[in-house]
Amino acid sequence: MSGDGEKGETRFQGVGVSPGIARGVVQVMRDELEEIIRDKIDPSQIGAEIARFEAALVQTRMQILEMQQRIAEAIGTKDAGIFDAHLLVVEDRTLIDEVLRKLETDLVKVEAVFEEVARRYAETLSKIDDPYLRERALDIQDVMRRVVRNLQGKAPKTMPLPGEAHILVAHNLTPSDTAAMDRHRVLGIATDLGSRTSHTAIMARSLGIPAVVGLHDVTEKLESGCMALLDGFTGKVIINPSPETLAYYGEVEIRQFKVSKELAELREQPSTTRDGQHVVLSANIELPDDIVSVATNGAEGIGLYRTEFLYLDRDSLPGEDEQQETYRRVAETVRPHPLIIRTFDLGGDKIAGGIDVSDELNPFLGWRAIRFCLEHEEIFKPQLRAILRASTVGNVKIMFPMISGVAEMRRALAILDECKEELRAAGIPFNPNLQTGAMIEIPSAAICSDALAPSVNFFSIGTNDLIQYAIAVDRVNERIAHLYEPTHPAVLRLINMVGEAARKNKIWFGVCGEMAGDIELTPLLLGLGVDELSVSPTLVPRVKSALRSLALNECRQLVQKAMRLETPGEILELCSQLARERYGALLS
Ligand code: PEP
Ligand code: MG
């Protein structure tokens, strides 16, 4: 962090994981209240508790007024009016009197009494079918948190902003938080934790929302309501940007706008190298709504549909019919291009409501993806049947995540066959020639890819996981993010092995991890012989431009050299050099 005082510009450096510039008011999303312990008090302490309570109410009132003024300065008086409702809560006589009465009868610390009374009020209001009263319930909850924190002597915490567009700042956002957030109001995302391949970063990229992660303790240092500029390219968050900074970023945005315009012109162009090699360039999607950006960015279909995101912002699992409808809609929209549906990859950092995956010490090595599905046929089979039923429309393929070896693959395919039989028996149509694929994201699968290849039609390499398992670097741990090196010689050898197995068995192979969208590494992946690259929709134009600037031959030569290099840095430099020569402007 650097800066020159409270009102001056202050900079925080993190990792830019989703490109773009955002400017706006900050909203800090904080964790829920810590548990409030119902400490008993002696009747002689009642007076002191009342005094504490009154002081906390005054303090809260001042904080709200201060916030109101700050917001009014930043975005206008009208929107700051929401805080009037919060002020009414701290002045609500009925609420305060009830707290005082209960303090005498319950004889516990006032924070516990206040929390209980306020929560009950909020619950009662939230049940009434009236939007105004439901909003009042939210006001009460927000103010209650602030009063309790003041009673506990903690720093002022969250104050929700009006329904304005904002930069969302949080300690950590889970994929379910991201799936549930109001995406039209979030201009940018900044988090203390996170890394390039965390699913929150992946989603932000898909949504085209600029994001910076790995900011360590930014949530402790920022207050809701301050003005910020977020640079998702270089990973900066700048509070109270100076006129010079704003002018500088104005120019960056103009340059970016020009680059995007040029890239947009490539939309209808094929993803073919200079020497005529066509490589399928498809997109990864998380939510069905993402399909819009698949076509607008010029992708050739969907190479990875992360279906588990269907579950993440709800409490119950969608049934077979609902899934079938969704898959069919997506397939219809992208046809004649392919839609590769990946079966649920629940677990790891993707925990869904309604699914009981208890806390695990190593969730990424735990009960995840295909392991979970094979033990939960009541979840797996409806999904397989839904995919099969949707396969009559368009060009649907299916792939299985986290395959570790042949036995698991056979088991998954056997269940798929059972589902086909069930549909046949019921006279429900499906495409009997539906292509099946294995995700290669566990080193054992890469090493055994020659044995796996005869069972499937394609391989899709999930480098996000493959890298974390190959070099034992947790993909979501920002503390070791610098050790997460896609150009590690071991990763190169594993991908090469998969490519050789695919060619020998005459099946195609692609890469759908984040590595596929990193244009510095496009020469490496082309040289390794990929048939397909599947990337975040917003990255498609950049990758297409990179691909069209390269010749397959020079990429093959690069890989021959890279295979003899011994360190990730040397391999990266080799790729970087060719990338800079061919499309330096795209990289800057
Ligand atoms: C991967 O692991 O590279 C992948 C594409 O799957 P996910 O990121 O969803 O784990
Ligand atoms: Mg994966």
pLDDT number for residue 7: 63
Pocket test for ligand 1, best of 439, 460, 467, 518 (most atoms within 8 A of CB): 439
The verdict on whether 373 is a catalytic residue reads no
pLDDT number for residue 31: 60
pLDDT number for residue 1: 43
CATH code of the domain made up of 10-31+164-259: 3.50.30.10
What does the domain layout of the chain look like in residue ranges?
Answer: 10-31+164-259, 43-151, 266-587
Atom of ligand 1 nearest to the CA of 512: 5
Helices (H) and strands (E) in the chain, counts: 24, 17
CATH code of the domain made up of 266-587: 3.20.20.60
Which residues does 350 contact at the CB level (< 8 Å), separation at least 6? 175, 176, 199, 308, 309, 312
Atom of ligand 1 nearest to the CA of 348: 10
Token readout for 269 is: 């162009």
Rounded distance between C-alpha atoms, residue 535 and residue 572, angstroms: 20
Tell me 108's DSSP state.
B
State in Å: Cα 464 to ligand 2 middle.
Answer: 6
Q: How many CB atoms lie within 10 A of CB 180?
A: 13
- Inter-residue contact 479 to 529 (CB < 8 Å): no
Tell me 13's DSSP state.
E
Rounded distance between C-alpha atoms, residue 1 and residue 559, angstroms: 40
The verdict on whether 512 is a catalytic residue reads yes
pLDDT number for residue 585: 86
Helix axes 568-587, 540-549, angle to 10 degrees: 100
Tell whether omega for the bond before 241 is within 30 degrees of 0, i.e. cis.
no
Q: Which amino acid is at 400?
A: F
Pocket test for ligand 1, best of 302, 464, 515, 532 (most atoms within 8 A of CB): 464
Rounded distance between C-alpha atoms, residue 555 and residue 369, angstroms: 34
Could you tell me the CA-to-CA distances from 389 to 233, 293, 427, 436 in Å, in that order?
A: 42, 25, 11, 15
Burial class (CB in 10 A: 0-12, 13-18, 19+), 255: exposed
Rounded distance between C-alpha atoms, residue 489 and residue 436, angstroms: 29
Burial class (CB in 10 A: 0-12, 13-18, 19+), 134: middle
Ligand 1 contact via 512 beta carbon (within 6 Å): yes
Q: Is 496 left (phi over 0), alpha (psi -120 to 50) or beta?
A: alpha
Per-residue pLDDT of the chain (588 residues; tens, 9 = 90+): 444 444 689 999 999 999 999 999 999 887 655 678 788 999 999 999 999 999 999 988 887 887 667 556 544 555 456 567 778 888 889 899 999 999 999 999 999 999 999 988 888 887 777 666 766 776 787 788 788 888 887 755 444 455 678 999 998 887 667 766 777 889 999 999 888 888 778 888 888 899 999 898 888 888 888 899 999 999 999 999 999 999 999 998 888 888 888 888 998 899 999 999 999 999 999 988 888 889 999 999 999 999 998 877 676 778 999 999 999 999 999 999 999 999 999 877 776 655 666 677 888 898 889 999 999 999 999 999 999 999 999 899 999 999 999 999 999 999 999 999 999 999 999 999 999 999 999 999 999 999 999 999 999 999 999 999 999 999 988 888 889 999 999 999 999 999 999 999 999 999 999 999 999 999 999 999 999 999 999 999 999 999 999 999 999 999 999 999 999 999 999 999 999 999 998 887
461 strand-pairing partners: 440, 511
The answer to whether the 43-151 and 266-587 domains have the same CATH topology is no
Residue nearest to atom 8 of ligand 1 (CA): 464
State in Å: Cα 325 to ligand 1 middle.
Answer: 24
Residue with tokens 């930014």: 218
Q: What is the pTM of this model?
A: 0.74
Ligand 1 contact via 286 beta carbon (within 6 Å): no
Ion ligand 2: residue ranges with CB closer than 5 A? 441, 462, 465
Q: Does domain 43-151 have CATH number 3.30.200.20?
A: no
Ligand 1 contact via 68 beta carbon (within 6 Å): no
Q: Which amino acid is at 503?
A: R
- Inter-residue contact 38 to 116 (CB < 8 Å): no
pLDDT digits (tens, 9 = 90+) for 371-429: 999 999 999 999 999 999 999 998 999 999 999 999 999 999 999 999 999 999 999 99
